[in-house]
Amino acid sequence: MTARSVVNWFRAVYDSLDLKGCSSHSGRRTFITRAARLLAKTGGSLRDVQELAGHSSLTTTECYIQGDRTLQRKLVNLL
């Protein structure tokens, strides 16, 4: 599949499910964020997430990871 056909496929799926505001990019962001949050449980590293995402730069992968204030508070309380 080409990059464009993947985008079109996701658009058709999201439209058929009546999901507004979703895109292939938002699905990618969700996957990368969830994978990053599971690293502590798997013993993996951000490099593993980078490779799964197909990014050549870790900096690119980091841009996709969304923060969560609630989880940040929990982390600080553990410290």
**What is the total count of domains within the chain?**
1
Which residues touch 45 (CB under 8 Å, ≥6 apart)? 39
Tell me if 1 is assigned to some domain: no
Distances in Å between the Cα of 48 and the Cα atoms of 32, 35, 54, 58, 79 are: 10, 9, 10, 10, 26
Q: What is the pTM of this model?
A: 0.72
The radius of gyration computed from the CA coordinates of the chain, to the nearest angstrom, equals 15
In-domain check, residue 34: yes
Q: What is the pLDDT along the chain (79 residues), one digit of tens a residue?
A: 788 898 899 899 999 999 988 887 888 899 999 999 999 899 999 999 999 999 999 999 999 999 999 999 999 999 9
Whether residue 43 is contained in a domain is answered as yes
3 lies in a domain? no
Q: Is residue 50 part of a domain?
A: yes
